Amino acid sequence: MLSQISYGRSIGGVLRSLVTPKERKRVAKAKETPEGTFDIKKSDVLQGTLDLMILKTLHALGPMHGFGIARRIEQVSRDILQLNEGTVYTSLLRLQQQAWITAEWGTSENNRKAKFYSITKRGEKQLELETENWQRISGVIGRVLRLEGER
């Protein structure tokens, strides 16, 4: 999950802790477009944010199967996020182990057996905490990105 901001650390250290080495390599390998932007078609999700997005999806839409959760997150992101189903199911298992979601077998829209996931009361509390944490961290990142010529 997202780590707490430690006031003893520099902002650079805090920001580096939010980005995994794999993500740093991916960004470093990104190709610059003629417009001067970077072409990153499939974004890797910051560690912990997938859990947050799954909790929010289940909170907003009610019980869903794993494939449906993944497709909904991709749809809301306008396909910027391409989720590997293995990653989604790993996250779902982790959320179950934390008792933030439950799973129950049912029948999908196309009459196939599927596991449906629901958010629990504990999960709703965690969603609230993680949302506040994400908003605080994204606010800090936004302030840093708006710095201009301040030395």
pLDDT at 47: 60
pLDDT at 50: 94
CB 1 within 8 A of CB 130: yes
Domain containing residue 106: CATH number? 1.10.10.10
Measured distance CA(53)–CA(55) in Å, rounded? 5
Considering the domain boundaries, does residue 98 fall inside one? yes
- Give residue 72's domain range: 11-146
CB 4 within 8 A of CB 133: yes
Considering the domain boundaries, does residue 131 fall inside one? yes
For 38, phi then psi, to 5°, come to: -105, 135
| C-alpha distances out from residue 43 to 33, 54, 74, 89, 150, Å | 16, 16, 11, 18, 30
Stretches in the chain below the pLDDT threshold 50 = 1-11, 14, 37-43
Count of domains in the chain?
A: 1
pLDDT at 14: 47
Considering the domain boundaries, does residue 4 fall inside one? no
Considering the domain boundaries, does residue 138 fall inside one? yes
Three-state DSSP class for residue 49? helix
Measured distance CA(93)–CA(78) in Å, rounded? 26
Considering the domain boundaries, does residue 1 fall inside one? no
Considering the domain boundaries, does residue 120 fall inside one? yes
